[in-house]
Structure 1
Amino acid sequence: MSDNTVEGLKARYGEHWRWLAVTTVMLGTMATVLSATVVNVALHEIMMEFGIRQGQVHWLATGFIAAMTTTMLASSWLLDHFGVRKTLATAMTLFTLISLVGGFADSPGQLIAARIGQGAMAGLMQPMGMYLVFRIFPRNRRGQAMGIYGMGVILAPALGPVLGGFLVDQLDWRYVMFAPAPVTLIGVVMAWRFLPLPVSRPAPYRFDLPGLLLLGTVIGLSLDTLNRLQLLAGQEVRIAAQALLVIVCLALFVVRERRARHPLVNVALLRKPVFLYANLGAMALGLALFGSTYLVPLFVQTALGFSATQAGLLMLPAGIVLGMTFPLAGRLADGHSARKLVVFGIALFATSAVLFASSDLELAFGWLALWTVIGRIGIGFMLPALSTGALNPLAPEELGAGSSTINFTRQLGGAFGVNMVALTIEFGEHANGLPTISAFHSAWWLVAAFVAMAAIPVWRMRV
């Protein structure tokens, strides 16, 4: 039987075992990002096949992100009780099965349910990479490791839209549901081979299930309430009642987390100013990343008449450049001010969004690709710096809770970002049942404004 202790892995693979372990968790994160992005180029075809509007089809993106946001906070408890090896392998296995089932969905409801299931498993996988990096790498190499890890992860959104466009145009949109399955299957094998068993485990403690249910209710009801604003007439009472219930559940969640012995969210960490400001910045990063990833393919296909393949190719240069930016940004994060790097990234991304908001129907493919590249360079400077800036001040025993919290806030920003972008488009001008370019312009201005506002808390990080 193989010795999967840290010492056994070092003896078997040498000092390179750290990179083998990081590559393994990177596959899990790549699968989640691939699944989150590959479906975006298929949204137009799904709308056509099922005869639904953009206001409903966006749940394929929003439902995924909302489920991922909710379940990722369970990762800390799972890591403490089962370790990264069992947790990641199990989540990858279930993710694979749900992806295959979703590919055979014959109604929008079934497809959305499969996307929510994918998101739930993705939430368990997402924090593993950051957790492992901060556990096995020394402090002065964490930025470099996060940069390399991020470079690999970025291959998914770089290649995902291209792969999705090819599958949609040459085969069928259903194949975008199948696409992440091979990645997670390889990840399951690597997890059992390369990930270490936990050195020690804390005494068993109760999982904060009430907190998870309250949080899931808050997120789900909030997004549904925002979505119902599309058809406000006749729903005023229901919308008001849901909004009130969201406020009550949020208050109960905060009270629960402050009193629980082992809370889902360690509220005490948010009392540390640097960590709090970094999380506010992470919310803006999530809005920028997921909002733009949803918006770009739908914008160029619906308003500019691009094919799914063209929409995917448009995202390819940006993904490659982002992958190249990550190692550089990671190294800079080890020795330079995190807030300056993040603010620089915010400025670049806001510039990209403003350029899209000022576009017209005759715009050449090359200019659109360039503006996407500018935005992705901005994100490349934001992510490693935010991660190191947030987690470096924490004690080793706080890293698990810290990494899950900052991943949670980033995904939360993404969930609400996609929802608000979709709502803005739906409220905009339509022709023949589809949004016009002016509706997309409004959404781009919204993204630019929210991201620019994030510079205020980020500048107060003082790291």
Structure 2
Amino acid sequence: MSEKMKRAFAFTAIILGFFMALLDTTIVNIALPEMRTYFGGGVAEISWVMNGYNLAFAVFILTASRLADQFGRRKVFLIGITLFTVSSLLAGFAPSLEVLIGLRVIQGLAGAIIVPVTIPLTTTTFPKEMHGIIIGIWGAVSGLAAASGPALGGVLTENLDWKWIFFVNVPLGVLSLILTPIFIRESKDVSAGRRVDLAGTLFITGSMFCFVYGLIRVDDWGWTSSAVLLLFAAGLLSLLLFLYAERKGAEPMLPLELMKIKAFNGAALTLLIVGAGLMNISLLTTFFMTRIMGMTELKAGLILSMLAIGSTLTSAVSGPLSGKFGSRWFAAGGVVVMAGATYSLGGLTSASPVSGILLRLALAGIGIGLTMAPVMSAAVRNVPEEKVGISSGVINMTKALGSVLGVAIIVTALQQNLDDKVGAARSSAVQVVRNDAKLLPPVKEALMASLQGAGSGGSAEAASLPSPESAAAAVGSQLRAAASKLAPEERAVLEQSAQGQMRETEAVVDRIGREMKEAAVKGFSRTFALAGLLLLPGIPFALISDRARRRSEGGIPAAEKGTLL
């Protein structure tokens, strides 16, 4: 077999594991309602099917990178693939919600092992002159996996069963397990030593757990709650202790000299912001399509896959070109495009055509593709070759942290904006009902009770109002209750006016519904605008994510390799 074919099979093994680990960050989201129906329990409990994976993934990723550098990347990769495949199979047969959540935590740990190892395995498999092309493909697969999760999850849940979102991983994992030992050679960081940095592992694990768990619980407890503030304080303290341990340790898991490489810092911070931006686009657009436009989760997921199309195409191009011309301008331009696309999503209305959503999402996908692959390529290019493994762990950790941070910020902002806009519209609606001269007092009471109960809580459901039919049913019930308390002659008068009251109720509710939906659209528009603005700090970070290009003596552009300063 030719060397070219061996590399192709090796890359296939790497990509299969990488794809399924990233796919599982989003594929379960659309199936959560089905899981809740199957297992029972509340929204808070079922959400840990998603949160458990994300928490374990973010917490363990740096430690996994270090262990792979020390004891062999292929060996650790095989452990991760085996663990992920087995836990996926068992998750499909989980007898209870508690068992499923536990298996999802194991999946998250396995994903944390797989994802950061894929970059050093790739760079050691291919010659340096091919790194730009290969990382471009790697970036394309990254965007495809993350963005296609909702669509694939929706298709599997709709046509088969929610359990298949786990079973689909099994053949991918088995194939990767077959190919890896045959075609991938072992590699490690020979300067890393064999001693495990227990202090560093303990402190970074504790720090990431406190930060990520605190961000996950912000939606329940609030940013200023004592529990969240305590978690953030503990996370900061653990981080400071980690840095101290790394500075003093004989064999630290994270060489702090990496933090002196400006381009590496720029790449990590860019991915922190882009990770948040990607999650914000996905979350807000999905909520808007399902809650405001009334789409099914499956249709929304399929539309959202346009992100993957745009990202895949541009990643495959920008990766190789960034290896030749540098990553800075590709990455900065990508962040600008992402920010503009996110801001433009705020122009959607409840009657917007699907083509308008697809165009905006395609533009956002193009921005993601222009950013992700070049930044990952720059992070690899600007650190010493033997430190690619731990560097991959750092930048993947910051991206994972950014995703959780983005969700925490944007959900809080969406709640506040919907509270402001829909709350004001609800107050106005109550006055409309009170001032309606045609409605009888019992009818007004029923309508105002419906309005006060609709859309409360400041979530995406704030746009959900009683339909004219449900409002009429509530009014009918109220009229019957009122009639039962009246004298026969008064009851006859009320019954004669019931039909007219129903018609007036439907007209009032229809008018109020339109006004409150418009208010909810304004709340989403403001939140999309904020999400776009939050991407802007990524521009200066992207500009320092790669070293300035210089000319070699022969006039050919050359990258300046990073060194530990």
Q: State the TM-score, normalized to the length of structure 1.
A: 0.87
Q: Which residue of structure 2 aligns with residue 185 of structure 1?
A: 174
Contact 1:58 1:419 in 2 (8 A): no
Aligned equivalent of 2:129, options 122, 140, 143: 140
Q: Deviations over 1:127-155 (max 9, x none)?
A: 22211232233333211111123334444
Equivalent residue pairs, number:
451
Residue 390 of structure 1 and its aligned partner are, at CA, apart by: 2.2
- Cα contact 1:166–1:308 (8 A) shared by 2: no
Whether 2:209 is the aligned partner of 1:220: answer yes
Q: Distance in 1 between matches of 2:229 and 2:269?
A: 27
SS in 2 for 1:23: helix
Q: Mind listing any 5+ residue stretches in structure 2 that lack a counterpart? A: 420-454, 464-519, 549-565
- Matched residues in 2 for 1:364 and 1:284: separation? 30
Deviation at 1:182, TM superposition (A): 2.3
From 454, 457, 461, the counterpart of 2:538: 454
Q: What is the CA distance between 1:99 and its match in structure 2?
A: 1.8
Other-structure match for 2:42: 52
- Larger Rg: 1 or 2? 2
Matched residue type, 1:449: L
Structure 1 pair 117/446, CA: closer, same or farther in 2 (3 Å)?
A: farther
Pick from 15, 27, 31 the counterpart of residue 38 of structure 1.
27
AA of the residue aligned to 1:450 = L
CA drift of 1:272 comes to 1.2
Please say which of residues 180-189 and 147-156 is displaced more in the overlay: 147-156
Which of 379, 401, 416 is the matching residue for 2:368? Answer: 379
Q: CA deviation at 1:199?
A: 8.3
Alignment of 1:81-120 (within 5 A): 81-105=70-94, 109-120=98-109
Match of 1:248 in 2: 237
Deviation of 1:405 after TM superposition, in Å, equals: 1.7
Quote the offset at 1:70 in angstroms: 2.4
Distance 2:68 2:462 in 1: 44
* Equivalent pair of 2:417/2:526 in contact (CA under 8 Å): yes
Deviation at 1:24, TM superposition (A): 1.0
State how 1:21-420 maps to structure 2 within 5 Å: 21-46=10-35, 50=40, 52-53=42-43, 59-105=48-94, 109-157=98-146, 159-198=148-187, 204-232=193-221, 236-420=225-409
Q: Secondary structure at the match of 1:359?
A: coil
Letter paired with 1:68: F
How much does 1:354 deviate?
0.9
- Compared CA separation, residues 228 and 86, structure 1 to 2 (3 A): closer
For the 8 Å contact 2:55–2:209, the answer to whether it is kept is: yes
1:250 deviates by 2.0
| Separation in structure 2 between the aligned mates of residue 107 and residue 64 of structure 1, nearest angstrom | 17
Moved more, 85-94 or 196-205: 196-205
Is the contact made by 1:343 and 1:458 (CA closer than 8 Å) also made in structure 2? yes
Question: Using the alignment, how far apart are the partners of 2:530 and 2:42 within structure 1?
Answer: 24
On the 8 A contact 1:28/1:187 being kept in 2, the answer is yes
Query: Does the CA-based 8 Å contact 1:69-1:412 persist in structure 2?
Result: yes
Displacement of 1:312 after TM fit?
A: 2.3
Distance 1:262 1:63, change over 3 A: farther
Query: Could you give the per-residue CA deviations for residues 262-303 of structure 1, whole angstroms, max 9, x where no partner exists?
Result: 323222101111111111111112112333334433442233
Once residues 212 and 188 of structure 2 are traced to their aligned partners in structure 1, the CA distance between those partners, rounded to angstroms, is: 40
Kindly indicate whether the alpha-carbon contact (under 8 Å) linking 1:44 and 1:301 is maintained by their aligned counterparts in 2: no
Q: CA deviation at 1:374?
A: 0.8
Contact 1:339 1:458 in 2 (8 A): yes
- Contact persistence 1:230–1:427 (CA under 8 A): no
Aligned-CA RMSD value? 2.9
CA separation in 2, counterparts of 1:390 and 1:264?
Answer: 18
Q: What are the ranges of 5 or more consecutive residues in structure 1 without an aligned counterpart? A: 1-11
Q: Determine if contact 1:92/1:187 at 8 Å carries over to the other structure.
A: yes
Identity of aligned residues (%): 25
Amino acid in the other structure paired with 2:42: I
Residue type matched to 1:455 in 2? I
